[in-house]
Amino acid sequence: MIHDLLHARTGPLTRELLRTPGEFGLGQVPATSKPDATTRLVCGYCSTGCGLTAHLQSGEAINLSPTTEYPVNLGMACPKGWEALTVLDSPDRAVSPRLKNSRGQFDAVDWNRALSEFTGRFQAIQAAHGPQSVAFLSTGQMVTEEMAFLGALTKFGMGLLHGDGNTRQCMATAVVAYKQAFGFDAPPYTYADFEESDVIVLIGSNLCIAHPIMWERVMRNPHSPEIIVIDPRMTETAMNATQHLPVTPKGDLALLYGVARLLIQNGWIDETYIDEHTSGFEQFRQFVEPFTLSEVTTQTGLTSAQIERFAETIHRGQRVSFWWTMGVNQSHQGVRTAQAIINLALMTGNIGRPGTGANSITGQCNAMGSRLFSNTTNLLGGHEFANPQHREKVADILGIDPNVIPTESSWAYHEILEGVLKGKIRGLWVICTNTAHSWINQNMARDILSRLDFLVVQDMYHTTETARMADLILPAAGWGEKDGTFINSERRVGVVKKVRKAPGQALSDFNIFRLVAHHWGCGAMFDKWTSPAAVFEMLKQCTRGMPCDITGIRDYQHLDREGGIQWPYPDAESIQVPVTNRDELTDPVENSKHNVTAPNDDSHLASERRLFEDGRFFHSDSRAKFLFEESRPLTENPSSQFPFLLLTGRGSASQWHTQTRTQSSAILRKLYPQQPFVELNPQDARQLAIQQDEQVHITSQRGEMTATAFLTHNVQPGQVFIPMHYAATNQLTDAVFDPYSKQPAYKACAVSVSKLGRTSLV
């Protein structure tokens, strides 16, 4: 006792940090949060789709750790995933509906008042300006069932025509590239391909920071692969590459064409594959003729040796996989660049085999769910609004009148915003996205939002930049507070579960949609939409006969048991019917049939599967198309007034998009600079007399911001880089879009950089 007074080896403070076996297959856990049960769910940040094991006490999640057995992440997670529960406890959570009063301040109101405002204001706008004068903007962050509900409710129940998702900002380019080249939006790969390649080509993709768990899979590759990174910046991923090609921004298209020409010229192509499985190669061969080494070196800033070595590495590789992310997608010529990548895979026969593929890594946790089920560009399940048989099929499954289904697609995101400017869109419902931060040329975007007659924002947080502009805020439950499914980058359908109670009056988006349907007066149309599980059943039926057929998935429990299931996963009945062809929609063709076998209770399909193993694509001739086009110059080249090219991108693995969630974790906040910084080459800094850590002013034709100068050789002279997570960044960007995908080109605009002045005495 006396000894303890003098030297206490244990006591209450020591006990605070005691660890104890967690059981349930876990290692030791903090004794204060020892679970009485565990359950696993898919992470709600990026499209990697990691499995997380929630540690439960009395059914409620009190901690989490990555799921060891999940086939995606193999027991690992990035900081965002580890902190996924923390951000649910934020004081910024929306806990009741909030209505903006005449003084511009928000009053908390109850749901009935909120919904009467919602229906009253929107219906009044529709009465005055037509049903299409109200539109919606949604997300790649909600579960599939909620996306489908939103799309069905707005388009079938509320009479809206236009709605788009923030997925337009991340993967629209990949969608169009795949649809045109393969006949369906079908990323062909499985993550095991990262481990099986002997050559991995990453184009505009910083896996280390944007998708750390996919980089985990690269690091597990036992074949000592050549890793080629094509990126203007020396990123973490480039640092770990065996070849880094610091291409001039948007010079990637010319580079890819030039490499195609080299491969052809040297006979390093797979003529058998080209003959049997592709179309348009001859035209492509002629097209790339002018992309000589001297031409390509001029356009890319690379040396002949670098380009030749790249081509030779592809040639020598037995299993070459090509991966691209936002560096390609967010470009004024993104679709053609993505297709130039696809062309390389096709012409070298690097597709449909382990460790190969032309593979788009997308952004959000449910980007793929949105692509198939958001009911915006496509009718539910990858169908087409214009096709009467598709409308019949979907109407039949949903038990609705086919005539309520629009016969045309929605406007794209920027067309909806332009519609506001033109007075055609008067009311907007923004769900689970943050337009006022993330949309390109932000000052203009905010101006557009301010012109709306009625803006409803439905979000977890009432403090997002967009929520602050709203007339009405609807409080939504977040990830972990609701059930449903996500589909990840490798087409894996995974389950999200309710393991936390939503704060206050917040409701899941699903239940908000049920409530809206009820108040709008179209509740009867959604009688079958009683739960996410019930909707999942209908969505399964919608996919029957489509390339994304998931009729073989029995239920959420089945998904949970299997660690997620990749599409396609047709049931026995579907297997008898060939996959619907995309070109001749009324006449499914025999040769589009997949080489998948029907799953049954005893044996199911492999956990990791890739598409096109039989070399058959979804076009009517079952061939993949070579697609190409002359490269277009940058829309805003550096000038004497704005001499730098601004690159944007992800800043750290601890930040997510507009940071509405990640900024709510004290730990994540410690892991990145709180204030904006700009990467500037020391050579440029010397000319501008800018010192390390100095505050600088960055200006474009559209806006301005201040940031801390980070002098680094990571960026080339004449280029600067600013992470996209800081709200001011998009004040600089230029609203330019890919003509096919209508995806914004965030990654190249002209800016100037100047000293702001100094704060010290010397």
Partner 1 sequence: MTSTVHSQLDQQETFNITRPLTGDDFLAQLLHEQQSLTAVEEFSQSHSAGTVPAQAKYYAKLMPVKAPQPGEQYAFEVNLDACSGCKACVVACHALNGLDEQETWRDVGLLVGGTTTNPVIQHVTTACHHCLEPACMTACPVDAYEKDETTGIVRHLDDQCFGCQYCTLACPYDVPKYHSGKGIVRKCDMCVDRLSSGEAPACVQSCPHEAIAIRVVEVETVRENAEVDPFLPAAPEPHITYPTTVFKTERNFPRNTLPADYYSINPQHPHWPLIIMLVLTQLSVGTFAVGLILESLLASSLLDSFRPIQATLALVLGLAALGASTLHLGRPQFAYRAIIGLRHSWLSREIVAFGLFAAAAVSYSAVVWWPGGTSERLAILGGVVLMTGMIGLLCSAMIYVFTQREYWNFSRTVSRFLMTGLILGLATTWLALLLTTVVSQNDRVPQLLARVGPALAWSLMAATAFKLLWEAALFLHLFDRRNSPMKRSARLMVGPLASPLLMRFAAGLLGGIVMPGFLLLNSHPAAALPMIDLKQGVIVGMLFAACLLGELMERYLFFAAVSAPRMPGGLRS
Range 34-73, binding partner 1 (CB under 8 A): 37-39, 41, 54, 56, 59-60, 63-66, 68-69, 73
Please, which of residues 700-729 interact with partner 1 by CB under 8 A?
707-708, 710, 712-714, 716-717
**Segment interacting with partner 1, rule: CB under 8 A, options 9-17, 127-135, 389-397, 454-462:** 9-17
CA distances from 486 to 51, 280, 495, 530 (A): 11, 36, 6, 19
Q: Between 22 and 187, whose beta carbon lies closer to partner 1?
A: 22
Three-class SS of residue 264?
A: helix
Minimum Å distance from CB 22 to partner 1? Answer: 8
Minimum Å distance from CB 292 to partner 1? Answer: 24
Please, which of residues 202-231 interact with partner 1 by CB under 8 A?
208-209, 212-213, 215-216, 219
Instruction: Tell me: does residue 303 bind partner 1 (CB under 8 A).
Output: no
Q: How far apart are CA 403 and CA 492, in angstroms?
A: 33
Please, which of residues 617-636 interact with partner 1 by CB under 8 A?
none
Q: Between 89 and 401, whose beta carbon lies closer to partner 1?
A: 89
Q: Between 11 and 757, whose beta carbon lies closer to partner 1?
A: 11
Please, which of residues 396-455 interact with partner 1 by CB under 8 A?
none
Q: How far apart are CA 20 and CA 638, in angstroms?
A: 59
Instruction: Tell me: does residue 468 bind partner 1 (CB under 8 A).
Output: no
Which residues is 431 bridged to in the sheet?
A: 458
Minimum Å distance from CB 557 to partner 1? Answer: 6
Please identify which residue in 26, 605, 688, 727 interacts with partner 1, judged by CB under 8 A: 26
Q: Between 247 and 477, whose beta carbon lies closer to partner 1?
A: 477
Q: Between 1 and 761, whose beta carbon lies closer to partner 1?
A: 761
Q: Between 1 and 13, whose beta carbon lies closer to partner 1?
A: 13
Please identify which residue in 526, 677, 737, 740 interacts with partner 1, judged by CB under 8 A: 677
Minimum Å distance from CB 428 to partner 1? Answer: 24
Q: Is the peptide bond before 568 cis (omega within 30 degrees of 0)?
A: yes
Report residue 517 CA to chain centroid gap: 28
Q: How far apart are CA 159 and CA 148, in angstroms?
A: 15
Which regions of 572-715 does DSSP assign to beta strands (E)?
624-625, 644-649, 677-680, 695-699, 704-711
Please identify which residue in 296, 432, 477, 553 interacts with partner 1, judged by CB under 8 A: 477
Angle formed by the axes of helices 532-542 and 144-152, nearest 10°: 80
Secondary element (H or E) of residue 287: helix 281-288
Q: How far apart are CA 605 and CA 624, in angstroms?
A: 25
**Segment interacting with partner 1, rule: CB under 8 A, options 423-431, 599-607, 642-650, 689-697:** 689-697
Instruction: Tell me: does residue 676 bind partner 1 (CB under 8 A).
Output: yes
Of 420, 205, 404, 333, the C-alpha closest to 741 is 333
Minimum Å distance from CB 594 to partner 1? Answer: 30
Please identify which residue in 1, 2, 689, 761 interacts with partner 1, judged by CB under 8 A: 761
Instruction: Tell me: does residue 667 bind partner 1 (CB under 8 A).
Output: yes
Q: Between 316 and 713, whose beta carbon lies closer to partner 1?
A: 713
3-state SS of the chain: helix, strand, coil percent to 5? 35, 20, 45
Q: Between 285 and 309, whose beta carbon lies closer to partner 1?
A: 309
Which residues is 697 bridged to in the sheet?
A: 706, 754
Helices first, then strands: H and E counts in the chain: 29, 28
Q: How far apart are CA 278 and CA 621, in angstroms?
A: 9
Q: How far apart are CA 274 and CA 515, in angstroms?
A: 53
Q: Between 219 and 606, whose beta carbon lies closer to partner 1?
A: 219
Answer left, alpha or beta for residue 155, where phi above 0 means left and psi between -120 and 50 means alpha. Answer: alpha
Cβ density class 473-484: b for 16+ within 10 Å, e for less: bbbbbbbbbbbb
Of 490, 414, 468, the C-alpha closest to 734 is 414
Which residues is 200 bridged to in the sheet?
A: 227, 321
Instruction: Tell me: does residue 345 bind partner 1 (CB under 8 A).
Output: no
From residue 105 to residue 144, the character string flagging contacts with partner 1 as x (rule: CB under 8 A) and all else as - is ------xx--------------------------------
Please identify which residue in 6, 103, 222, 422 interacts with partner 1, judged by CB under 8 A: 6
Q: How far apart are CA 370 and CA 683, in angstroms?
A: 44
Please, which of residues 480-539 interact with partner 1 by CB under 8 A?
481-482, 495, 497-508, 511, 514-515, 518-519, 530
Handedness of CA 674, 677, 679, 680 (dihedral sign): negative
What would the two tokens of residue 235 be? 């990123």
Please, which of residues 537-596 interact with partner 1 by CB under 8 A?
556-557, 560-561
Please, which of residues 234-273 interact with partner 1 by CB under 8 A?
234-237, 239-240
What would the two tokens of residue 440 be? 């390109």
What would the two tokens of residue 162 be? 């236009």
Please identify which residue in 13, 222, 224, 587 interacts with partner 1, judged by CB under 8 A: 13
Please, which of residues 80-99 interact with partner 1 by CB under 8 A?
82-83, 95-96
Please identify which residue in 272, 674, 689, 757 interacts with partner 1, judged by CB under 8 A: 674
Please identify which residue in 681, 700, 731, 743 interacts with partner 1, judged by CB under 8 A: 681
What would the two tokens of residue 170 be? 């991340």
Q: How far apart are CA 84 and CA 98, in angstroms?
A: 25
Minimum Å distance from CB 710 to partner 1? Answer: 6
Question: Residues 61, 54: contact at Cβ < 8 Å?
Answer: yes
Q: How far apart are CA 21 and CA 45, in angstroms?
A: 29
Minimum Å distance from CB 111 to partner 1? Answer: 5
Q: Between 453 and 608, whose beta carbon lies closer to partner 1?
A: 608
Size of the site for partner 1 (CB under 8 A): 121
Q: Between 292 and 607, whose beta carbon lies closer to partner 1?
A: 607
